[in-house]
């Protein structure tokens, strides 16, 4: 907090603040349970294979011709984009959310890991931006692209909120 106060007063520059904060983060290390690897990084295979199955079913139904097209068209319209989005999200940064309530004997209550399609979100904002009032006054799409360039699996951005040793704890990890 002292570094941010010094930055606000103008005692240090932005580069110096980033350097100091980066050094502190390395010394503190990653909080326990901030990131869980393994099977969550392969999540994209489930929607990919589901989309592949829908596409194959739609293709087979389309070869039958006639009224079968009424079933083939929705299967193809859903299956192909689902496969494409699943494959495209494979290399996206991940967000891991872990909620633990230590006041109860159960321990971990909630864990979720999903990809963040930052490039897709930035592209959508650029396309629909002219129709969203006062979006041009913000730099949301530039922020998303900068975030995409700075996140990595080796060095995630971790936000931790804790109510002490016996309270609730939420850890959100990007990267």
Q: Which structural domain, as residue segments, surrounds residue 74?
A: 37-91
| Long-range CB contacts (within 8 A, 24+) of 161-167 | 165/102, 166/102, 166/103, 167/101, 167/102, 167/103
Same-domain status, 118 and 143:
yes
Q: What is the pTM of this model?
A: 0.53
Confidence band for 170, pLDDT divided at 50, 70 and 90:
confident
Predicted pLDDT at 160: 83
Burial class of residue 86, CB neighbours in 10 A (0-12, 13-18, 19+): buried
Residue 135 has pLDDT above 90, yes or no: no
Residues 120, 150: Cα–Cα separation, whole Å: 16
**Structural domains in the chain (count):** 3
* 18-32, 80-94, 104-118: the lowest-pLDDT one: 18-32
Same-domain status, 43 and 107:
no
Confidence band for 37, pLDDT divided at 50, 70 and 90:
low
Same-domain status, 71 and 104:
no
Dihedral angle over CA of 18, 24, 28, 34, nearest 10: -10
Same-domain status, 172 and 98:
yes
Question: Are β-strands 168-174 and 107-115 bridged in parallel, bridged antiparallel, or unpaired?
Answer: unpaired
Same-domain status, 26 and 48:
no
63-92 per-position pLDDT tens digit: 998 899 999 999 999 999 999 888 877 777
- Measured CA angle at 74 (ends 49, 61), to 5 deg: 80
């Amino acid at each position: 907090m002292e570094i941010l106060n010094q930055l606000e007063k103008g005692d240090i520059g932005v580069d110096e603040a980033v350097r100091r904060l980066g050094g502190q983060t390395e010394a503190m290390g990653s909080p326990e349970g901030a990131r869980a690897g393994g099977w969550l990084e392969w999540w994209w295979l489930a929607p990919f294979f589901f989309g592949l199955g829908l596409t194959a079913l739609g293709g087979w139904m389309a070869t039958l011709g006639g009224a079968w097209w009424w079933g083939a068209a929705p299967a193809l319209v859903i299956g192909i984009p689902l496969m494409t989005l699943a494959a495209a999200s494979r290399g996206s940064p991940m967000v891991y959310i872990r909620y633990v309530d230590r006041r109860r004997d159960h321990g971990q209550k909630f864990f979720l890991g999903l990809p963040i399609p930052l490039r897709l979100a930035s592209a959508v904002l650029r396309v629909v931006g002219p129709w969203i009032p006062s979006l041009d006054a913000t730099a949301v799409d530039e922020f998303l692209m900068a975030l995409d360039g700075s996140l990595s699996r080796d060095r995630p951005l971790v936000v931790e909120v804790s109510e002490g040793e016996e309270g609730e704890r939420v850890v959100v990890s990007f990267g």
